[in-house]
Amino acid sequence: MARSANARTGTEAGTEPVPQRLLAVATRLFAEQGFEATSVQQIVDAAGVTKGAMYHYFGSKDDLLYEIYARVLRDQQARLESAAESDSPVKERLHAAASDVVATTTANLEDTIIFFRSMHLLHADKQAEVRAERRRYHERVRGLIEEGQKTGVFRTDKSADLVVDFFFGAVHHLGTWFHEDGKLTGQEVGEHFADLLLDSLRP
């Protein structure tokens, strides 16, 4: 059949590749009816592929939920590394990293909300993978703060760990109040968050 052939090749005329299409459909269905209430059959029907095509890319519904957030984390990690490894002063590198994580979180807010709403339903090893990736990100930001503290650019009377927890606590709270049609764009909120972070570290 034409649909099965297209599913095997990974594309359908005028549509996204199968993995992206499955992720887009899963994101929508998880948002509309919840992770637990969404069946694999509903996902593949809405994506216009077979179960075999889905299992070629994703071993389970858990893998779809994991990938919804993991792809955001991978992008953020790459962007953080780019900012952190630049030749700019540490204040500029930290500001760039802080504003970017807010901007990219707001740009992918639905994915983030869906994932954290259902993360506890994931298999333990998938939860551990996500926590490890988030910890790696946080530790890279902490490294920038510690670099600034060691060189006298940032205040030293507040631990870098506490500053990181405080900042990311605010970032993870974005889903409760940020709206695309609000007064500020995600990029503008990111700039404000980064300014506040740098102000709090001023000696």
pLDDT digit string, tens, across residues 93-114: 999 999 999 999 999 998 888 8
* Domain range list for the chain: 15-59, 65-200
Distances (CA, A) of 28 to 23, 39, 65, 75, 92: 9, 13, 11, 21, 37
**Rounded distance between C-alpha atoms, residue 127 and residue 69, angstroms:** 11
- Token duo for residue 178: 């940020």
Q: Indicate whether 189 pLDDT > 90.
A: yes
Run of H or E residues at 128? helix 124-150
- Token duo for residue 53: 């095509």
**Rounded distance between C-alpha atoms, residue 39 and residue 30, angstroms:** 10
Distances (CA, A) of 168 to 14, 137, 165, 171, 190: 39, 10, 5, 5, 12
Q: Answer whether 101's CB lies under 8 Å from 18's CB.
A: no
Q: Indicate whether 151 pLDDT > 60.
A: yes
Q: For domain 65-200, give the CATH superfamily.
A: Tetracycline Repressor, domain 2 (1.10.357.10)
Summarised one tens digit per residue, pLDDT across range 34-82 is 899 999 999 999 999 999 999 999 999 999 999 988 899 999 999 999 9
**Rounded distance between C-alpha atoms, residue 160 and residue 97, angstroms:** 15
The residue written with tokens 């779809």 in the block is 64
Between 38 and 117, the higher pLDDT residue: 38
Query: 48: how many CB neighbours lie within 10 A of its CB?
Result: 16
**Rounded distance between C-alpha atoms, residue 116 and residue 140, angstroms:** 22
The one-character DSSP state at 35 is: T
pTM confidence score: 0.83
Q: For domain 15-59, give the CATH superfamily.
A: Homeodomain-like (1.10.10.60)
Query: What's the pLDDT at 14?
Result: 40
- Token duo for residue 3: 């649909």
Mean pLDDT of the 21-32 span: 92
Summarised one tens digit per residue, pLDDT across range 118-130 is 888 888 998 899 8
**174, 47, 159: which is closest to 56 by C-alpha?**
47
3-state secondary structure of 36: coil
